[in-house]
Structure 1
């Protein structure tokens, strides 16, 4: 069996991107690093002084909507609906277990001085959890599906900075934590929960109703 090159190892594929994002985020904290968080805030305030939106509270869920739409269109995914639901729950639990303790331990003040829970960005972590799950489920279909999810997630991070709620370093760290949480969830998921072959569970979205459809074939 041919030995994998170092960059092909799972440890590199799963942890490189999160490590780079979190590491770079830490390196540009305050006035430190290339194009620091302070520099970013100054440019944002100069270019978008009156920017305000609550869209970032909702955009972070868009990748889940993309997943539902693709399944409704019959696109094959890595796991069935039940296992994806479990992976979503598991990923968000892992992300929360990292984000909220760090917020309390670090105690960084937000740019708008509203509290001391700035680092890391929870909204960005949530968005990248959703995007990373979308990528994992459809990466064998097309890489562009994952790219579209990450673009949406990145827009959430940008909105958090434009809204003066987070520093650049908070957003980068949140993105890394979100991706890492999904990778850990998938690595530890045993896929033991399978629906009976005669039982089908799928999302339903139409003009009259939204919900979950359950079908059993006799």
Structure 2
């Protein structure tokens, strides 16, 4: 049974990596140095993962499958391994480690940091909001914030980040990141902290957050980090006159 779970998640990883290869080839001529061009096909894998997780919130069949995994974990695993607390950060950290070793990625330090921060902001906001809304009990009964898996979302956001930055150097950088992310999700179930549906949804949210961060990067950079050549100074001044509230904006080009 455990082998089946491992193959299931690894197949998701391999499929996503293969899909991203195809996508990167399809947009090779239009992709810029700084951002990933939108392609609706890139939504397929994360949408399937997120959809599986949400269906599992109501599906008795998927809930039963979750319970089988929990029973298998409790029956055969005695010692917990908390390596997932660290591996969730490994893919993203690898981008900076590779660059420090002299292996250049797609973007410079500033640009990649903006992309990663945007991804984590979207991912964290989504994860915490869903945890608060769904209130799913964890397999170990410790809390009602199981859905989706934040560790897994974090790991897969980093894996997609590693893929996008270094896929042109070697696809194995990105594949290794996805393997580590998949392992993080497996350990969340191994440690009886998450259901399979939590892990699937977390993986989809993480991947989609980073893809969206690359799509939005030109807008985010031009809005919040304008270049000196096209520097725009703006000021927003809220006002309240006792009856009305509003805000005024002054923009200097």
Which residue of structure 2 aligns with residue 57 of structure 1? 85
Unaligned runs of 5+ in 1: 1-6, 197-218
Tell me: CA distance 1:53–1:11, structure 2 relative to 1, closer, same or farther (3 Å). same
Whole-angstrom CA distance in 2 between matches of 1:66 and 1:195: 28
**Greater radius of gyration (CA):** 2
Unaligned 5+ segments in structure 2 are 1-22, 28-37, 229-253
In 1: Cα distance, 2:155 partner to 2:112 partner: 16
Q: Report the TM-score when normalising by structure 2.
A: 0.68
Is 1:47 the counterpart of 2:60? The answer is no
Q: Deviations over 1:165-185 (max 9, x none)?
A: 111100110000000000111
Q: How many residues align?
A: 189
TM-score (norm 1): 0.79
Q: Does 1:81 align with 2:148?
A: no
Higher helix share: 2
Which residues of 2 match residues 195-210 of structure 1 at below 5 A? none
Return closer, same or farther for 1:34/1:165 CA change in 2, 3 Å cut-off.
closer
The 3 A distance-change label for structure 1 pair 139 and 35 is farther
Structure 2 residue aligned with 1:24:
52
Structure-1 separation of matches of 2:92 and 2:134: 30
2:218 is aligned with 1:184: no
Deviations along 1:66-124, one digit per CA (max 9) or x if unpaired, are 21232123222111011111111110000011111100111100011111100000111
Match among 52, 66, 82 for residue 37 of structure 1: 66
CA displacement at 1:44 relative to structure 2: 2.0
SS of 2:127's equivalent in the other structure is helix
